[in-house]
Amino acid sequence: MDIRQLKDNIRSFSLEDGDLGSQGYKRVLLQLFGFTGHGKSSFINSCMYVLEEGENFIEYAEARETLEGYTMIRNAYPLTDQITIVDNRGCSKLNDFERAEVYAQLGNCIPIGQKVDWEKNYSAMMEAIENSELEPNFTDFLVPIFVYRATKMINEMEEVKTFMENCVKMTGIVPIIVIAFKTKGDYLEVEKQFRLMGAETVIAIENYTTESKIKTLGRTTDILMVIDSALRNVRFHLEQPRNPRRERIERKKFMYNYIHQIHLHQEREKHEKEKSEREKEKKKQEEERKGICTLL
């Protein structure tokens, strides 16, 4: 498929195209996730750039090519009238509640435009989920996209694999994998790792930037292919009967159960720690008594 066809497919995409129509969806939400500094914001800028004519590159999403990351707010960027791409907050290393926040973003439990704070306890996380029901969003068709830079081997394989599996549970879609910084690392090895974790679509790209904005056939095609792959997923799933309201309820159930399991895990760890400290204190006291007896 050439660039013109890819652009036409994206620009003309409509949720009403299938035999069953939109089934209540109003927008496709391309949900970007990944670790901090792996190129999510740059990918958004690249998507906007390849769909526009000319060489006028605009940095819509502020990007930094560092591992510290920059995005703190869930920002959305319309690609067409029916397709929006979302820059979700990334993580450097996830703890339990940070993982829950990632899934809360994926499930639209955190409104677009809102700052994403890493909640640190059960009550705060549950309150955030409840507050999301004040203005429930069930009309977005969610497509997860995971961005990972080719310059890093995957050290968090179990963590990433679990994320991919939970994406399927929440959206029904296996995340599309975007390997960024294609020319700066061994992207073939990274792709192999993702394939072994169950990835179905893996596309390596080189983002456009203010310093590197001359459009080329290969770079433009790769970026357009990511969007096109997401839309093919949407078309496939809209061939089956769906219920957006029911799906949101199921995502909410997933979040409640996930947060509850985190809470139970932390309570067990707390109990084990307290038990260990009591045993250490008891042993210390016994040794002190033995020492006194020896002196006597």
Q: Within a domain: residue 289? A: no
> How far is the first Cα of the chain from the last one, in angstroms, to the nearest whole number?
92
> Which parts of the chain sit beneath pLDDT 70?
63-72, 92-97, 113-122, 134, 292-296
Helix or strand run (H / E) with residue 179: strand 176-180
Q: Judge contact between 258 and 106, C-beta under 8 A.
A: no
**What is the C-alpha to C-alpha distance for residues 42 and 239, in angstroms, rounded to an integer?**
33
77 part of a folded domain: yes
State the burial class of residue 148 (Cβ atoms within 10 Å of its Cβ: 0-12, 13-18, 19+).
Answer: buried
| Beta carbons of 38 and 149 less than 8 angstroms apart | yes
Core vs surface per residue 221-252: b (16+ CB within 10 A) or e: bbbbbbbbbbbebbeebbeeebebeebbeebb
Residue 281 belongs to a domain: no
Closest CA to 21 of 215, 279, 235: 235
Tell whether 156 is covered by a domain: yes
Strands 140-149 and 83-87: unpaired
pLDDT of 126 = 73
Give Cα separations from 19 to 2, 15, 236, 237 (angstroms).
27, 10, 11, 12
Looking at the domain assignment, is residue 157 inside a domain? Answer: yes
Q: How far apart are CA 133 and CA 149, in angstroms?
A: 35
pTM metric for this prediction: 0.85
Is 284 part of a structural domain of the chain?
no
Examine residue 173 and state whether it is found in any structural domain, yes or no.
yes
pLDDT of residue 284: 80
Task: Tell me the residue range of the domain where 170 lies.
Answer: 3-260
pLDDT value for 296: 57
> Could you tell me the CATH number of the domain that includes residue 226?
3.40.50.300
In a domain, 205, yes or no: yes
Q: How far apart are CA 40 and CA 23, in angstroms?
A: 30
Rounded to whole angstroms, how far apart are CA atoms 245 and 139? Answer: 8
- The tally of domains found in the chain comes to 1
For residues 146 and 163, is the Cβ–Cβ distance under 8 A?
A: yes
